[in-house]
Amino acid sequence: MKVLIIFAHPNPLSFTKAVLDNFVRGLREAGHQYEIVDLYKTKFNPIFQDMDFAFFVDKEIPRDIFQQMDMRSMIIQLAGGPVRRFVARWYIKNKTDDDLIRLINAQKPKDVLVQQQKVAESDVLVFITQVFWMHFPALVKGWMERVLTYGFAYKLDENGWKGDPEGRIPLLKIKKAVIMHPTFFNEQVYREKGFKAAMEKTIDDWGLKYPGIEKVDHIYFHSILSVSPETRKKYLEIAYLKGKELKYG
For 185-223, the pLDDT digits (tens) are: 988 988 999 999 999 999 999 999 999 999 999 999 999
The pLDDT of residue 249 = 62
The pLDDT of residue 97 = 82
Q: What is the CATH number of the domain that holds 149?
A: 3.40.50.360
What is the pLDDT averaged over residues 145-158? 94
CA atoms within 13 A on the CB side of 60: 12
pLDDT beyond 70 at 138: yes
Q: What is the DSSP string of 170-236?
A: E-----EEEEEEE-SS-HHHHHHSSHHHHHIIIIIIIIIITTT--EEEEEEETTTTTS-HHHHHHHH
The mean of the pLDDT values for the chain is: 91
What is the rounded CA–CA span in Å between residue 151 and residue 161? 13
Mean pLDDT is lowest, of 88-92, 107-111, 125-129, for 88-92
Q: Are residues 67 and 176 in the same domain?
A: no
- Could you tell me if residue 32 is inside a domain? yes
Dihedral, CA of residue 240, residue 186, residue 46 and residue 10, to nearest 10:
-60
User: Crossing angle of helices 138-147/110-120, nearest 10°?
Assistant: 80
Q: Are residues 167 and 228 in the same domain?
A: yes
Q: pTM of the prediction?
A: 0.91
Domain of 78 in residue numbering reads as 50-105
- Could you tell me if residue 162 is inside a domain? yes
Residue 229's pLDDT band (cuts 50, 70, 90): very high
Contact assessment for residue 154 and residue 169, using Cβ atoms and an 8 Å cutoff? yes
Q: Are residues 39 and 96 in the same domain?
A: no
pLDDT beyond 70 at 98: yes
Enclosing H/E stretch for 247: none
Q: For residue 129, give the nearest of 44, 249, 56 by alpha carbon.
A: 44
Q: Are residues 86 and 179 in the same domain?
A: no
With 0-12 CB in 10 A as exposed, 13-18 as middle and 19+ as buried, what is 183? buried
Q: Compute the chain's Rg from CA coordinates.
A: 21
pLDDT digits (tens, 9 = 90+) for 36-63: 999 999 999 999 988 898 898 888 888 8
Q: Are residues 24 and 79 in the same domain?
A: no
Q: Are residues 177 and 196 in the same domain?
A: yes
- Could you tell me if residue 249 is inside a domain? no
Q: Are residues 88 and 144 in the same domain?
A: no
Question: Burial code of 198-228, b = ≥16 C-beta within 10 A, e = fewer?
Answer: ebbeebbeebbbbbbbeebebbbbbbbeebe
Q: Are residues 205 and 223 in the same domain?
A: yes
What is the pLDDT averaged over residues 232-240? 96
| Spatial CB neighbours of 50, under 8 Å, sequence gap ≥ 6 | 74, 78
Quick one: how far is CA 119 from the chain centroid?
10
| Spatial CB neighbours of 195, under 8 Å, sequence gap ≥ 6 | 134, 185, 189
Q: Are residues 70 and 149 in the same domain?
A: no
User: Crossing angle of helices 82-92/71-78, nearest 10°?
Assistant: 150
What is the rounded CA–CA span in Å between residue 215 and residue 248? 8
Number of domains in the chain: 2
How many beta carbons lie within 10 A of that of residue 37, not counting itself?
A: 19
Beta bridge partners of 67: none
What is the pLDDT averaged over residues 12-34? 96
